[in-house]
Each structure stands twice: as C-alpha cells, then as structure tokens.
Amino acid sequence: MENQTYKIAVLPGDGIGPEVTAEAVRVLTAAGRRFGCSFEFCEALIGGAAYDAAGHPLPPETLELCKQSDAILLGAIGGPKWDNLPVHLRPEAGALLPLRKALDVYANLRPAVVFDALANASTLKREVVEGLDIMIVRELTGGLYFGKKKREKINGGERVEETLEYTTGEIERVARFAFGLARQRRKKLTSVDKVNVLESSRLWRDVVTRLAGDYPDVELSHILVDNCAMQLVRNPRQFDVLLTENMFGDILSDLAAQLTGSLGMLPSASVGGSIGLYEPSHGSAPKYAGLGVVNPIATILSGAMMLRYSFGREDAAGAIERAVAAALARGYRTRDIMEPGCRQVSTAEMGEIIAGLVEKG
C-alpha cells in the first residue's frame, strides 16, 4: 500500500461546498505526506453550479469522472437560486439522488460522535451525550426516494401516489453491512422499522432477523421508528449501530447530528458499490457562502472515512480523527461551536491547524 496514488473526484458543488472541500483536500494531502500515499484530485461541477455552467446539475462529464476515480469527495449542493427549476433539474433530485443510484452506494454511514471538548455544545445535557458514539447505517438507494411516483388531477383536486419498495436482496446487503460494522464496534445492532403499520417493515424485520444467525456475536434488537426518535433524545448512548431504511434514516440522522452539537461536525460515507462517495451531512448553507466562517470538520472527517472505507488506510484515517480531537482540545473553534474561553478561527485556519496536527502526529 505504501506510495500508492489514489484518484479522487472532488465535487465542490454550491454554497459553502467549495470552502469545506478545500480544507478536506488540504488535510488529506497532509495525511498522504505523513503516511506515504498521494492523491490526484480532479475537480468537476455538480449541483446548481453545474446547472448554471452546463445546463444540468449532473453533467455526463462529472459522472464519467466519478466512475473513473477511486473515491469521490462531495461538498454540498443546492440553494434558493435553483429551487424553482423543474424537479429533474434541481440539484437534489437531478444530481445527488441519481449519483447515489448510479454508483449503487446502498449503505450510507453517518456516525454521530461527541468529541470530549464539545460535550457542552449540544442542546442536550452533558451527562446525556458525553462520550456518545453511534453509527447510523441508512439504506440509500431504495425505498420512498426511488419508488414509482404519480401526480394526477381528479374531481377538481389532485391525487398523488408514492411507493415504498424493497426487495429481499436490497435489505440483505445493507443489513450485512451493518452487522459487519457492529462486529467491529460494540457488537450491538438495532434495526429500525414500523412493523406495526408497514408491509415493507415486516419484510425488513424478517430479513434482518434471519441474517442474525450468521452473526451470533452481534446482539440484534428491533425498535419502532417513533420510539427510536424518542430514545435518541432520551438516552442516545444505549445505541451502537442503528440500521434503517432510506427515509427513516434521513430523519433520524439529522436528529442524531444535533446530539453532537453541530451539523458542522458530521461526516458521511456512502459505500457498498465499487466507488465510495464521501460528503458532510450538512447542506450548502448559502447564506454563509464565501464568508470563511463555516466548520470544515464534517468534510475533513468525511476524508478520514474515505481513507478507512475506500482505501483501507486506518492509520491515516485515525490520524485525521485524532488531529480533529486535538484541535478542539486546544480550544480552536469555528463559529458554530464557539464557546467562551475558546479561540474562534476561520474555515481555512481550522483546516490549516488540523493539517498541521496530522503531519506532526
């Protein structure tokens, strides 16, 4: 693995996307210098920026570059400027969802970790969130997001249809991913469903239960999604790995993000296909674009996840995570996590500080 070169497609996107991806690139480069690997970063347009320049939020050249890369680093997409476009040209439906589908990245990993230095930053009490470390595994290429949809006029009104589809195979592959991750962690897997109402949840629960036999060392439990939302704010540390279908995972992962104090801290990895997609869990925050005030840590930590899940470089991934913890422990804060007695730094300064700590080790 020494001195390997990895080709990374960098898709900065809209709003604050370019600022945060620049810092992740800086930190990855530092990690490469220290751990003997190099990166070839190739930029391409996506989202509103791509629509403005090329007339489509996911131009064919961008998709082609992604498919020829070893991994993809995405900033954020969307903004009010593009909200009124027809659905298929909007950044979310026209670029992000098709990109996930085209790459077949069916497992979306969203860790919610409370760094010691930030235990007071959450809106929940310190004793509830201190030491929190949960991993949400969200199914990403099926369910309501991709099911058949229809909108029609009837009797002077309208009628919509939206379908939630899953096959045994789709449930199995993401569940196996979650069991595997639980096995490397605290060996507890909680599968989220709405088995009392949805047929899709009954299949989901059947499949997950059947697979449990292959992972006797993992303790499996099931929870209804409404109860899960409540338990996440009541006592989030009871969970280790949470496995959910697409829509439930979208909602629960924002909830889990807030437990950690700021959405600006939450990375994500979308994996399972041959090329992984790494992006912060936050959006494009257009009102902060270009001001240099946002938190690049979510994107920097997404870079660490890339090193771990796409390249198997646990050494470099761990070094980035420790550097983030060290920067926070030394009192450096971007505006979203600023506390009295700490030192407020810009987006680029935070990137420089973390890159410096990665290189020094």
List interacting residues with ligand IPM (CB under 6 A): 92, 96, 250
Least gap, CB of 57 to ligand IPM (angstroms):
12
> Distances in Å between the alpha carbon of 208 and those of 16, 104, 297?
38, 20, 34
Q: From the list 23, 250, 279, 336, which residue makes contact with Mg ion (rule: CB under 5 A)?
A: 250
Our answer to whether residue 254 is catalytic in this structure is yes
- Answer with the entry of ligand IPM, Mg ion, none that 96 interacts with (C-beta below 5 to 8 A by kind): ligand IPM
- Residue 304 in contact with residue 317, Cβ under 8 Å? yes
Give the residue with the Cβ less far from ligand IPM, 263 or 297.
263
219: its two tokens? 């303790």
Least gap, CB of 183 to Mg ion (angstroms):
27
Give the residue with the Cβ less far from Mg ion, 101 or 188.
101
Our answer to whether residue 145 is catalytic in this structure is yes
Residue closest to 263 by CA, chosen among 312, 296, 226: 296
Our answer to whether residue 214 is catalytic in this structure is no
Least gap, CB of 248 to Mg ion (angstroms):
11
Our answer to whether residue 116 is catalytic in this structure is no
Our answer to whether residue 360 is catalytic in this structure is no
Residue closest to 305 by CA, chosen among 13, 31, 12: 31
> Distances in Å between the alpha carbon of 350 and those of 11, 33, 112, 300?
21, 19, 20, 10
324-343 binders of Mg ion (CB under 5 A): none
Give the residue with the Cβ less far from ligand IPM, 141 or 200.
141
CA distance 27 to 33: 10
- Residue 273 in contact with residue 70, Cβ under 8 Å? no
Choice among 145, 215, 309, 332 that is catalytic: 145
* 3-state SS string for 108-158: EEEEEECCHHHCCCCCCCHHHHCCCEEEEEEECCCHHHCCCEEEEEECCEE
Least gap, CB of 85 to Mg ion (angstroms):
20
Give the residue with the Cβ less far from Mg ion, 26 or 110.
110
Residues that bind Mg ion (CB under 5 A): 250
Q: Give the catalytic positions in this structure.
A: 145, 194, 226, 250, 254
